[in-house]
Structures are given as C-alpha cells and as structure tokens.
Amino acid sequence: MQLIRHAKVLVAAIAACSILATIPASDVSARIEPNGSVSILQEVLPDGGFNRQVEIAYNPDLNQYLAVWRTSITFGPDTVYSSVLDASGTPTGSPVVLADNVGRGSNTLTPGGTSWRPDVSYNPVTKQYLVTIMRDFVEPRNSGILGILVSDTGAMASAETSISEPQGSENGDCVAAFPDAVADPVTGGYKIAYALRGEKCAGPGMNWISVIQPLGADLSRGSSVRVPTSSVYPITPRIAYNPAGSNFLVAITTHDDTFSVPQGFANIYTSSLASVSGPIEVVHDTFNSYDIGGVTVPIADPATGNWVVFYDSPRFEATRMNVFTSTGAKVGDAAIVRRGNISAVSAIGDATILVSNVQGPLQQLRQDGSEIHWIRGPLAVGNVGVPNTSIANGDPDDSRAGSIGLDPTTSATASTSVRLFAPGPLPVAPARLLDTRPGQTTVDGLALGGGKQSAGTVLALQVAGRGNVPTDASAALLNVTAAGANAVGFVTTYPCDAASRPTTSNLNYSAGGAASSAAITKLSATGTVCIVTSVEAHLIVDVNGYIPRRASVTPVVPARLLDTRPTGITIDSQRQGIGRIPADSTTTLQVTGRGGVDPTADAVLVTVTAIRPEQRAFLTIYPCDAARPTAANLNAAANSNVANLVTSKTSSTGTICIYSSAATDLAVDVAAYVPDNGGLLPILPSRLVDTRTGPGTSTIDGSDQGGGRISAGTTTEYTVDRGDIPPGATGVMLNVAAIRPDNGGFMTLFPSACDSTRPTTS
C-alpha cells in the first residue's frame, strides 16, 4: 500500500527577472522543489504591452485548474484571458478571451482599477468557475464589478453580468472596486467582497467601505451587507470560506483621515451573513506614520479548522501571521514571518500553510509562523525566476497547485509545477510502550508486566495513540530489547495485519543478559505491531519516533534481501546461500525493485545482522557509487549475532555496499524506503563522536573526539547538526556504539538536557 505521494504545486505566471535558485535538497527534511518543465500560456504582448497578475482556481472533480490573467497596454484597453491547465500545469488548449476593452487606460477615477487582477473561484456544486472583473465606465463617472461563469471545460457559460450594487447614471462618481469571490457550498452560490467609494454609493461622508454581496449560482444578487469599517485609503477586502464552521471571514485594512493609523480587521459571517464575530484585530507592525501594508488573503486550514490571516508591510518586508479559531478566538500571539511581502496563501491540508511573496519565493510555514522550507523562484522561463506567486491548492494525493502572478515588466504568461515533500520520520520524546518485567512502568500503565514472552507466540502491541504517536501514523521507530533469555535467539516485529509472519529479524540476543536494537516497523490499520521472540524472554519496547501517514518514507512489510548462510532464504530467492563474506571485503546488494522497494527509491531503511564473525568486526553500509566513509553502522564481537537498523542512501543503480572488517555471515532485511526525492534526506555516514584516542578515531570535523571514557551515571551533551546535517533539522538517525563497557548497562539518548528531562527508556 502506497502511503505517500509527492505533493505538487502548479505555478502559472508572468516571467520576471530574478535568478532561479533553490536551496539544496540536503538543507531540509521537508521541502518544496520545482517539478517539470515550464508551459507558456501566452507570449509577450507587442507594442509595449505587459502582463498583469495571474490568478488560479483548482477543480477537484477533474484535477485541473483554470488560470485567468489580464493584459494591459499602456494607456489602452485590457483583455482578460483564461486557460485550462492539467495537473502538471500544461494548458489543454489555447487561451480564451473572456473580456475585451476592460478599463479606459486611466486610473484617475479608480485607483488601481486598470491594474486590478481578475479573480477566479471554482464552485463544486455547479461545476463552474466564477471570474470577476472590473470595468470603468466613461459616462457616468463610475466603475462596476462584473461576473462571468466558465464551465469546467473552460467554455464561457454566461455573458458579463453586473454583480456589484447597481451603478446607474444617478450614481455618478461611484466606484465599486477590488472584488474577491469565493464559492458558498451551503447555498450553491457565491459570496463576493468588494469596496465602494463615493458618497452616492458608499453613503454621506464616506470614503471607502466594504460590502459582502451574496450571489446565486446564476449570479443573481441577494441582499448585501456593509462591513462596519471606513477608510480614506482604498480598501481591498479579501474573503475566504471555512468548512469547519460553515462561515466566511472578510479581512480589511483601514486608515484614518491622516493616513497615520493603519489597522487590520477581520469579520466573520454565517452563510446567511449573520455576524459571528468581529471586528477582530489583525495584529501587525507599524514602522512609521504611513504604513502602506495591509491584510492579505485569509485562509482556512482544514486540518485544524483555524483561520490564518496575514498582515503585510511590504515596504519593510515584515509580516505578522494571525491565527484564529473558526469563530474568531485568538490562537497564540501573532508570529513574525521570516520573509514578508506576501501576495498569496494556501492551506496544504496538514496544518501547514504555503505562502508566496512578491519577490518570488514560496515558503511553507507552520501555524506558529516558523518556516519549514522555502525556495527562491519556483517558476523559470529559461533561467529566470518569477515573482508574485498566487497559489491554488490541489489534490494532496496527486498535485498541489498554484499559480504565479507576476512582475509586470517582462515577457510571458507561463506555468509550471512545484512539489511539496513531507518530512520523514518525526522524533518524539522516548516513551516506554511495553515492559513484561515485574515492577516496571510504561508511559500510560498499559502493556505492563505479564512475565516472559513464550517462544514462538505473538504479542500484539498497540503503538498508535500512545507515547505521542498519532493514531494515523503509518509506522513507528522502536527500540526493542530482549532480556533474561535462556539461549541465543532473535525478535521479529511486523504489522499485525500482514498476510504472514516474515522470515526476518530485528534483534539478535544471547543468553542471560539484555540486548537492544532499533526497529522501524509498519503499523497495522489499527496501529498495532506484532512481536515474536524465538526463545522465551522478557520484552521491552520504547518508541522514539513515527512516520506520518503522508510522510516521504514508505514502510513495507519486512523482507529479507540477503542471507549468506547455506540455509538462508530471501524474499525473491536472490542473494541467498552465497557463503560467508571474507574479511576486509565489500558486498554489493541490489535493494531497489525488491521486497516492495520502489525502483526509484533514494534510500532504504534496513536491518543488517552480522552472524558469527570470526573476530571482532565492524560493518559500514553506504551507496556503492560513493567512497567508503570512515564510519561504522554495526559492531559485533567474535562469534556473536548482532543486528542494527541502518538508513542508507542508494546508488544511482539502486545498490548499497556492505563493508565487513572480518569474515562473517550477513543478513539484510528491508523495513522501509525513501521515495525518489523523498523528505527523509539520507547522507553519507559520518562520525560525530569518538571518545577514544589513536588511529581511526577522528570525527568528521575534529570536534568531540578523544576525551576519554564516559563515566557511569553521567549525561554528556553533544551537538549533532554537523557534517551534512543542517542546523534546522528536527531529528537525526544515529548509530551509537558502546565500546568495552565495564559491565552490563544501557544508554539513553534524548534531546538536549537544557530543554528535556531524561526519559525512563533505553
């Protein structure tokens, strides 16, 4: 079962002149990357013309988009175009002219009117798009907002229809401007927010006010509501729908008559336009007496039901991220967003937000404002990045889509695709989930005691929903310990709904003492893991992390890919019974295309077992097209059986290499893989800590080497964002070796002692 697909973002835009550059993939664990080639929607206009901002709407029924844009020729009329785009951003036909001769080539009556973008929204009830435009009228001196219905195939389904309050000749010098519309799934129609200016339409003594206009599916007007705000400066109200509360939020920026007190407000209404709450203050930073910023597009996050509202100060590139509940209660303090000048926002669907800004970057944010990843310019025409991205979110299982709107100084309207990669395994504070020994504890008092597990019996352990593991996690990172066994044995973990018990192992142990090993285990549909021990023993299980349902790591039912023993059996009968590996030798193992691993996988998570080495041995696992690193993934004493979980990048041909310092039998079981360009970023192994001195004990950068043995009962702190690990990493997968301890013992790894209490795990 495929549990992760790469999310994609479609980007449609007018090209501008910033250099395309992306943060290297190795910098982050969750990231945004350009995907695919650029599709030109319309070439550059002749005679000094240029393109204006593009807007885009997603059609979930057909998994496609409608892009709309407005062209402008200096001091001349404009044309509004549309184009249907498939999930990859490729136009399915030639651009369609929706409206011609829009505007008079002057903005003296309608500030910004001739450059205001057309707006587009998809109505899943009617299977149509609504495109809104502004028209300036020479006589009388006013402007109005018109709507055009477009079918899901891109054909015009209606003529231009006036959808703002009537602007007849008796209402000269009246301006209806800056429309923003959204479908209303409650009524099957639409809600549109726009601004009015002029006493004859806004009211005596009024400058700019905001209006919410309900529309039927046929664009018939209902009774409008005037939002209780007024401003001397043009208002650009923005509206969004929240399915969590079946309500609408209208965000507005106002200025007083001196222009010195800019304020952002949000008002929430029901579908019938009854007030839910408001005005709610939208927090922002004011840098001087004339702040040219304002509230940007609001968005409803389907994962949390929260509203997210940004206030932008473009001049100073400062943006505040405000979060409210669906009914308007404040959630935390307004966070400062690292890169301001935001022009568009979209909810990804996993409690994170994708935003763009007018210089071109796309960035993914958590709801506390912290940045997950950004790229400088996702759209490129030639080698040129494009600013002013306007985003429309797509199907999370197929494509995330967005359009890029543009710097109006250069060439063509274009589109491309951008992929969003989820994180890999997410760490949690270690928590004990199982302990069969008497007198012990678990994180919640469950799966406690019961005595030694009998040989060959199956223990079903509930993992999801415990120890901070979400109920919908797809896999868990476990530390499995066997203690008090009477003979040599092994432990196997696997999802309880697997078709059969796999012939693999996660842990090998000897008689008497305790042995531990990391395991990554796919969870059953109900969040359980089944555990079998070959010899009667106590079992202890700690959880250290989990793989989210849509993470860029795909767990599989464990499958054996290599077993050198004469009796060895692999999943496909390849690489079985090939004989012991010689000392100081390297074995090449094909891992992609086997055991459920995708042929294009970037990396694999495998359990590697050294079986009865002739002498003390260490193993190093690495991609076969790289030089062997000076690190070890597994250490084994002579004639012992030792297993360890290893994450290894694969070579370009899908192989990993296994170096053994001593002659030994080997077994390799695959537990998960990282898809092509997945979110878990494999790196070449590098040594971060070595307390020994002498040859072969150096670290990657000379830090944390030497220093002598670690005393019993002490806690030692190490910095691990070194080598190829970026400072922003949220977790690491480490191989930790205890070398010649004085007696039996255990180690616990946990976040820095400065911000975490040592857990009762090992």
pLDDT in tens, 646-683: 888 899 999 999 999 999 999 999 988 887 755 566 66
C-alpha span between 495 and 431 (Å, rounded): 20
Nearest to 546, CA basis, from 514, 564, 520, 579: 520
Alpha-carbon distances, residue 150 vs 81, 549, 668 (angstroms): 12, 36, 57
Determine the straight-line distance between the first and last CA of the chain, rounded to whole angstroms: 32
pLDDT at 406: 38
Which residues 6+ apart lie within 8 Å of 725 measured at CB?
683, 732
Per-position b or e across 101-112, b if 16+ CB within 10 A of its CB: ebbbeeeebbbe
Residue 575 has pLDDT above 90, yes or no: yes
pLDDT at 407: 36
| Residue matched to tokens 């999930």 | 87
Q: For 190, how many CA atoms within 13 A lie in the half-sphere containing its CB?
A: 30
Asked whether the predicted pLDDT for residue 259 surpasses 60, the reply is no
pTM summary value: 0.64
User: Is pLDDT of 400 > 60?
Assistant: no
Q: Could you tell me which of 654, 589, 642 has the C-alpha nearest to residue 613? A: 642
pLDDT of residue 113: 41
pLDDT at 465: 95
What pLDDT is recorded for position 423? 63
Rounded Cα–Cα distance for residues 458 and 534 (Å):
10
Closest CA to 621 of 589, 664, 663, 579: 589
- For 465-499, the pLDDT digits (tens) are 999 898 988 889 899 999 999 999 999 999 999 98
Dig out the tokens for 255 from the structure. 């200025």
Q: Say whether pLDDT at 596 is over 60.
A: yes
Judged by average pLDDT, the poorest of 2-16, 55-69, 663-677 is 2-16
Among candidates 589, 578, 530, which has minimal Cα distance to 558? 530
What is the pLDDT, as a whole number, of residue 531? 96
The arithmetic mean of pLDDT across residues 519-532, rounded, is 94
Q: Look at 150 and 547; give whichever has higher pLDDT.
A: 150
- Selected residue with higher pLDDT from 241 and 90: 241
Q: 473-512: buried (b, 16+ CB within 10 Å) or exposed (e) per residue?
A: bbbbbbbbbbbbbeeebbbbbbbbeeeeebbbbbbbbbee
The pLDDT, as a whole number, for residue 715 is 85
Distance CA 626, CA 653 (A): 12
Which two tokens mark 706? 């030497």
Q: 185-199, 214-228, 325-339: which has the minimum mean pLDDT?
A: 325-339
Q: What is the pLDDT of residue 28?
A: 40
pLDDT at 26: 30
Tell me, what amino acid is at 36?
G
pLDDT bracket for residue 399 (50, 70, 90): very low
| Higher pLDDT pick, 394 / 587 | 587
More confident residue, 119 or 89: 119
Contact of 295 with 310, CB cutoff 8 Å: yes
Q: Using CA atoms, how far apart are residues 34 and 378, in angstroms rounded to an integer?
A: 5
The pLDDT assigned to 491 comes to 94
Q: In whole angstroms, what separates CA 689 from the centre of its chain?
A: 32
Burial class of residue 39, CB neighbours in 10 A (0-12, 13-18, 19+)? buried
Do 119 and 55 meet the contact criterion of CB atoms below 8 Å apart? yes
Residue 731: its pLDDT value, please? 67
The SS3 assignment for 542 reads strand
Q: Is the pLDDT of residue 3 over 80?
A: no
With CA atoms as reference, report the closest residue to 426 among 565, 256, 553.
Answer: 553
Structural tokens at position 344: 């568009």
Q: What's residue 86's pLDDT?
A: 85
- Smallest CA-to-CA distance from 141 within 167, 180, 161 is with 167
Torsion over CA of 127, 151, 402 and 377, rounded to 10 degrees? 180
What pLDDT shows up at residue 320? 85
Residues with Cβ within 8 Å of residue 755, at least 6 apart in sequence:
none
What one-character-per-residue DSSP string does 173-223 give?
A: TEEEEEEEEEEETTTTEEEEEEEEESHHHH-TT--EEEEEEEE-TT--B--
Beta carbons of 96 and 82 less than 8 angstroms apart: yes
Q: Is the dihedral of CA 540, 1, 401, 164 positive or negative?
A: negative
Question: What is the percent of the chain where pLDDT is above 70?
Answer: 77
- Does position 17 have pLDDT exceeding 60, yes or no? no
* Residues forming beta bridges with residue 613, ordered by sequence position: none
> In the prediction, which pLDDT does 283 show?
79
Chain-centroid distance, C-alpha 753: 29
Q: What SS3 state is found at 27?
A: helix
- Please check the confidence at residue 571 and state whether its pLDDT lies above 70: yes
Q: How far apart are CA 356 and CA 417, in angstroms?
A: 14
Per the model's pLDDT, the better-predicted residue between 54 and 593 turns out to be 593
Q: Which range among 228-237, 420-429, 491-500 shows the weakest confidence by mean pLDDT? A: 420-429
Task: DSSP letter for 553, please.
Answer: -
SS3 content of the chain, % helix, strand, coil (to 5): 0, 45, 55
**DSSP three-state, residue 294:** strand
Cα separation, 296 vs 315, whole angstroms: 14
Mean pLDDT of the chain: 79
Lowest mean pLDDT among 176-180, 290-294, 607-611: 290-294
Contacts of residue 601, defined as CB under 8 A and 6 or more positions apart, other chains included, come to: 591, 592, 650, 654, 673, 674, 675, 676, 678
**Rounded to whole angstroms, how far apart are CA atoms 674 and 6?**
11
Query: Interior CA angle at 612 toward 610 and 613, to 5°?
Result: 75
Decide: 596 and 495 in contact? Cβ < 8 Å. Answer: no
Check residues 362 and 308 and name the one with the higher pLDDT. 308
